[in-house]
Copies of this chain bind each other. A is one copy, B any other.
Amino acid sequence: MPQIRLGLAQINPVVGDIAANVDAVIEWSAKAAANAAHVVVFPEMVLNGYPVEDLALRRSFQEASRAAVTQTAERLLAAGLGDLVVIFGHLDYIDSGAEAARLGRPLGGPVNCASVVFGGSVVTRYIKHHLPNYGVFDEFRYFVPGDEPCVIRVGGVDLALAICEDLWQDGGPVARIAQQGVGGLIVLNGSPFEADKDDVRLALVQKRAQEAHCAVAYVNMVGGQDELVFDGDSMVVNERGQLIARAPLFDEGLMMVDLDLPHAPIEEQLRDGTEVAVISAWPAKSYAPLRPGIAVEQTDIQAKYNATVVGLRDYVEKNGFSSVILGMSGGIDSALVAAIAVDALGADKVFGVSMPSKYSSDHSVNDAYDSARRTGLHIRSVPIKDFADTFHSALELTGLAAENLQARLRGITLMALSNQENHLVLATGNKSELAVGYSTIYGDAVGGFAPIKDVFKTDVWAMARWRNALAVELGEIPPIPENSIVKEPSAELRPDQKDSDSLPDYEVLDKLLEAYVEHDLGAEALKKAGFPADMVSRVIGLVDRAEYKRRQYPPGTKISRRAFGRDRRLPITSRWREQN
């Protein structure tokens, strides 16, 4: 059987930075060529970054994208890479009347596309068939779906193309590929991280390989983009579904894989009538294959922690910030965010502020300073008592108004320091408190980014323990004070306040929230699942009434099946109550 060497470029594009993304394609193609690759494959929409949202609809951006495809082909040739087959994803549009008529769409309709470049020009292109329009995806809004297969012949092997969702749909292009009898399927992806998705993804790729009776090479991007983190997890399985090679999660890199694939037929038309774009009909000379590697799997908590690090790192870097600032209460949430920020950016770029009020316990300040000593971040103290006193002398505030005032004086202090010193403010709220509305809008909710907004409180503790254990393993100082992990959670906005005064234990609460928020169970189903009726009623009431706060909460990294934000779209104005 012919040998073929594939390079899977698991890289980190930047949305909108077409010039830099083209540079990256050239640079990684050169690396692939230096490793004697025959074919190098880049992720979905790599020239544009992903997702570009409504930029896909803007004519100027579409034209720039199209120009970049031509430029990439020419630059590859000029760089002596004309013999390498380079496959990359990009935005394009329908430009032929015949295509428009066949798809029943107007000329100029945007498409999510993969181009195959060889010898300085585009040999063929594939348009994504299946457009995801659920969860965080709105691709029916942006793209016209394609309907034609695309098969190239390289080194005597036929390779079919598909893009991301095409692989996930039963009866999608994979069903047709089985009839075509190709040697391999190449899938370009922009598949965001969520917990446990790596397992699902591997099983899916294996299933499709078996269905299509061919090897599958799956290439995914890495890096953060607003609320999404792409985790890579690029892999190759053979036609029996066996995993041959797998790239590490979250790391940018080029994975080289040698495959022996069946020889293509002599005809240029496949059994189902598909015309093959022939680049080279004859096999390469035989050579000694590389030994492929399979990256060690990450545990669930490890992957979640790493996702928050990458999500924060890329939000900061891609938006041009040089540092972050956060309020440090001595509690577990801010201690974990501090550790994440230091891992993402280095301690010198992280600024903590302890802002004690008259209700703050001594350990609040001590634990915040302990966290700073452990991680090396910059810390200072700005007591808010005088601010609060000035307000109280002008406005007579009691109860909730007085509690919220303290949180807001902290928010205003962080924003003032941010404006004065050019830091990005981090909000330190977790998913459990965001769910039930236990955060003060314009108070602790202040921030440009919220690294753990999709992390339930029980996972906050688990991530903290995991990170400290890693430090011990590496012979380093654990970044998170043990005291912050073990102390009882409290907002400290009034004397002796504890989260447990008004909420169930987090072990129970988080399970209930997961069932309601991520699995959409109604009240009856929750009760059937064993949650007490009064708890169900109280908790989902809190969740429903906090929708308006979540709308104004900063963006933060999605790590779960369903994050707050575009993943879960509910009206603010709604009188639907599950207990009705």
> Residues on A close to B: CB < 8 A?
14-20, 49, 51-55, 57-61, 64, 133-134, 138, 140-141, 224-226, 314-315, 318-319, 382, 386-387, 390-391, 393-401, 404-405, 408-409, 411-413, 415-417, 419-420, 441-442, 446, 448, 520-525, 548, 551-555, 568-578, 580
Are the CB atoms of B387 and A318 closer together than 8 Å? Answer: no
Given contacts A555-B572, A576-B16, contact A391 B397 (CB under 8 A): no
Report which of B16, B54, B134, B417 forms a contact with A569, defined as CB distance below 8 A. Answer: B54
A551 to B445, CA, bound (A): 13
Q: How far is the CB of A227 from chain B (nearest CB, A)?
A: 9
Contacts A52-B576, A319-B573, A409-B412 known; 5 new A-B pairs at CB < 8 A: A49-B574, A140-B140, A225-B571, A382-B395, A555-B572
Offer 21 A-B interface pairs, CB within 8 angstroms, sorted by A: A16-B571, A17-B576, A20-B575, A53-B569, A54-B569, A55-B570, A138-B138, A225-B571, A318-B575, A386-B394, A387-B390, A391-B413, A395-B417, A399-B419, A404-B415, A405-B412, A408-B415, A551-B554, A552-B553, A552-B554, A555-B572
Total copies of the chain: 2
Judging by beta carbons under 8 Å apart, are A571 and B415 in contact? no
| Shortest Cβ distance from residue A100 to the other chain B in the assembled complex, whole angstroms | 15
Which residue in B57, B412, B417 is a CB contact (below 8 Å) of A520? B57
Which residue of the partner chain B has the closest CB to A549? B448
Known: A53-B569, A412-B408. A64 touches B420 (CB 8 A): no
Do the beta carbons of B574 and A16 come within 8 Å of each other? yes
B59 near A525: Cβ-Cβ < 8 Å:
yes
Is A138 in contact with B569, judged by CB distance below 8 angstroms?
yes
Known A-B contacts A60-B578, A416-B397, A576-B61; the reply to A387 vs B391 at CB < 8 A is yes
Contacts of A386 in B (CB 8 A): 390, 393-394
A395-B411 contact in complex given A14-B575, A442-B446, A552-B552, C-beta closer than 8 Å: no
C-alpha spacing A398/B417, complex, angstroms: 10
CB distance from A18 to the nearest CB of B (A): 8
Question: Residue on B with the closest CB to A553?
Answer: B552
Give min CB distance, A234 to chain B, whole Å. Answer: 22
A135 to chain B: closest CB distance in Å?
Answer: 9
Contact residue among B51, B409, B554 (Cβ-Cβ distance under 8 Å from A571): B51
The answer for the CA separation of A226 and B575 in the assembled complex, in Å, is 13
Q: Which residues of B are found within 8 Å of A578, using beta-carbon distances?
A: 60
